[in-house]
Structure 1
Amino acid sequence: MIRFGVVGTNWITERFIAAGRQHEDFKVTAVYSRSDEKGQAFTKKHQLQLFFTDINEMANHDEIDAVYIASPNALHAEQALSFMENGKHVLCEKPFASTSMEVSKMIEKAETKGVVLMEAMKSTFMPNFLTVKENLHKIGPVRSYFSSSCRYSPFYDDLKNGSLPNLFNPALSGGALMDLGVYTIAPLVALFGRPASIQTTGTILESDVDGQGHMLLDYEEVKASVMFSCITNSYLPTEIIGEKGTIVIHHISSPKKAEIHYPDGTSEDISRQQEYDPMYYEIAEFIQLIQTNKQQSSINTWENSIITMDILDQARRQMGVDIN
């Protein structure tokens, strides 16, 4: 049984606990919150043993084996380093950190302390992404990749009304690319690795973060194009286009269906049944790594996390976002 602590009391932490409880070796014992009131309510709701308002006290506690970090982006690295320094395994939400330099420090700490460190990019573990990887050969030489992750955020209305939500706060490493665009980049990196070059344009909001953008990534043989936005909606699927066919992935952030369309007009449904909550699969991988004494995933590798963060760094600089 792996005893988890969770950092944060937001909706994603709620989903994490619900998904984790589908796994026989998962147990959540503790929560950290900056708010005593929210933390007490969360503890009671989920029947937890421990509640902390001091992150360092939590990191030192013996009743915690691992931690799930779902705090604002800018806090990921600092909190992960604290937990790993105290021998705790870390599953950290996407994006892994604020910059690739922070990611490198996290990996170095994991290596030094001998703990598991993994980015919680759920989509790359899900059955309908794994089936894409296994069937990629059927479409021949891949020539193009297109993906879109655009969803109008209600927090944009708050921004326009004068407040500064976390999503659009530069001090917290906010912005559309970090929130939604990463969902288009991580699968691309998982399939094709590091691009030779990228070109990015975007719309910078009054809070000095990106509200939306477009990116071109050159893999020499493969040309990739992605769109991301928190201020508009898009309903387009992801396409991987090869000379012998096209794979269509529905909902790239949480793949629900995948199919191949062939030049002769026929199609093949390569979808797999999803038995568990979308977040279950990353949790199962993380628990298995702990139980088998492996420090990093063979799917969400440290290298893939570094490449993804490098792309996010470069893209934000090209859009004019200050990441320092």
Structure 2
Amino acid sequence: MNTIYIASPNSLHFEQAKQAILAGKNVIVEKPAFSTPNEMDEIIELANQKQVFFFEAARNIHEQAFKTVADFLPLKDHIVGADFSFMKYSSRYDQVLDGDEPNIFSPHFSGGALVDLGVYPIYAALAWFGMPNESLYFAKKIRTGVDGFGTGILRYDNFDVTIRTGKMTDSFQASEIYLTNGTLVLNAVNSIDEAVFHDRAHVQREKLNVHQLENPMVEEANDFAKVIMNPTDRELGTFYEEWVELARNVNQVIYDMRKSAGIVFDADKK
């Protein structure tokens, strides 16, 4: 076995990934890969030193539907703003209401809504629009000290992206990207199977050719496998470097958002 998939509670990812890399293994780490930018930087540097691969398993950016939307989007100066939403009630929130502290809602295990469902819209924003100038988060904290629900704002030069995420309620709201000539409506950003552009100038609707595979994990797995099986391929190497840099940026944005909301993990104190 030369590749290890890590899907333990968030706070355990760093040490487990570090030990695997030191043993010469490639690592695929479930999102969010790490709790802090320091952890992320150390793993990236260690993977480079040991000449193995580190992947963050954020599957939405590897789906063809996601890439179709990216190809459709105009230059950033034609973007007015965006509103991304991903909220889903977690049955483990019932445990919080009963007085318990499950790991996905625990600061000891680097839990909360932002570092779970919120990872998908943040990945979408950074993959499509780049690194924001400022990242803010207004959280509804729960008894354990992490966020159960929240609204984030990513500020760019000429537009903002609003992100709503939560695990203590459900959302049925579409995600939208506002352009100078219309609005692109997505059924989701975590798993896109419908995308419709409402062209204001021509008063018409254009349906993008997007769909989901029966197994939503296939495209991500294929991307990772190509890199692992072809370590000297320059084009694949470029893709890999882009994924790593995107993972680093997403980690930094999440960290900045947490700090703006006063959400502190045990990992922050190390």
Alpha-carbon contact 2:197-2:207 (below 8 Å) kept: yes
Task: State whether structure 2 residue 253 is matched by structure 1 residue 315.
Answer: no
Task: Compare CA radii of gyration and give the structure with the larger one.
Answer: 1
Match of 1:43 in 2: none
Shift of 1:78: 1.0
Task: Report the number of matched residues.
Answer: 261
Quick one: which amino acid aligns to residue 230 of structure 1? Answer: K
Bigger mean CA deviation after superposition, 82-91 or 250-259: 250-259
Residue 219 of structure 2 corresponds to residue 281 of structure 1: yes
* CA distance in 1: counterparts of 2:218 and 2:242, whole angstroms: 15
Q: Separation in 1 of the partners of 2:84 and 2:210?
A: 21
Flag the 1:273–1:128 CA change in 2: closer, same or farther, 3 A.
same
Q: 2:205 aligns with which of 259, 267, 283?
A: 267
User: For 1:21-59, what per-residue CA distance to the aligned partner results, in whole angstroms no more than 9, with x for missing partners?
Assistant: xxxxxxxxxxxxxxxxxxxxxxxxxxxxxxxxxxxxxxx
Aligned counterparts of 1:276 and 1:309: Cα–Cα separation in 2: 29
Residue 290 (structure 1) aligned with residue 228 (structure 2):
yes
d(CA) in 1 for partners of 2:87, 2:11: 22
**Mapping of residues 113-132 of structure 1, within 5 Å:** 113-132=50-69
182-191 or 139-148: bigger deviation: 139-148
Alpha-carbon distance in structure 1 between the residues aligned to 2:50 and 2:72? 38
Q: Tell me if 1:303 matches 2:240.
A: no
Distance 2:67 2:198 in 1: 18
Alignment of 1:163-178 (within 5 A): 163-178=100-115
Aligned-pair CA distance for 1:245: 2.2
Structure 1 residue identity aligned to 2:227: L
TM-score by length of 1: 0.77
Please name the residue that 1:226 is paired with. Answer: 163
SS at match of 1:137: coil
- 1:81-130 Cα offsets, whole Å, 9 max, x none, are 11111111111111111111111111001100111111110001112111
Q: CA deviation at 1:67?
A: 1.1
Match of 2:187 in 1: 250
Task: Tell me which residue corresponds to 2:119.
Answer: 182
Alignment-mate amino acid for residue 135 of structure 2: I
Indicate the RMSD between aligned Cα atoms, in angstroms. Answer: 1.8
| Alignment partner, residue 36 of structure 1 | none
List runs of 5+ in structure 2 lacking aligned partners. Answer: none
Q: Does the alignment pair 1:105 with 2:32?
A: no
In the superposition, relative to structure 1, how do residues 209 and 268 fare at CA in structure 2: closer, same or farther (>3 Å)? Answer: same
Q: What's the TM-score, normalizing by structure 2?
A: 0.92
CA drift of 1:241 comes to 1.0
Task: Give the aligned residue type for 2:243.
Answer: T
Gaps in structure 1 of 5+ consecutive residues: 1-63
Q: For the structure 1 residues 297 and 76, does the alpha-carbon distance in structure 2 shift closer, same or farther, using more than 3 Å as the test? A: farther
Which contiguous aligned blocks of 4+ residues in structure 1 show a shift greater than 6 angstroms? none
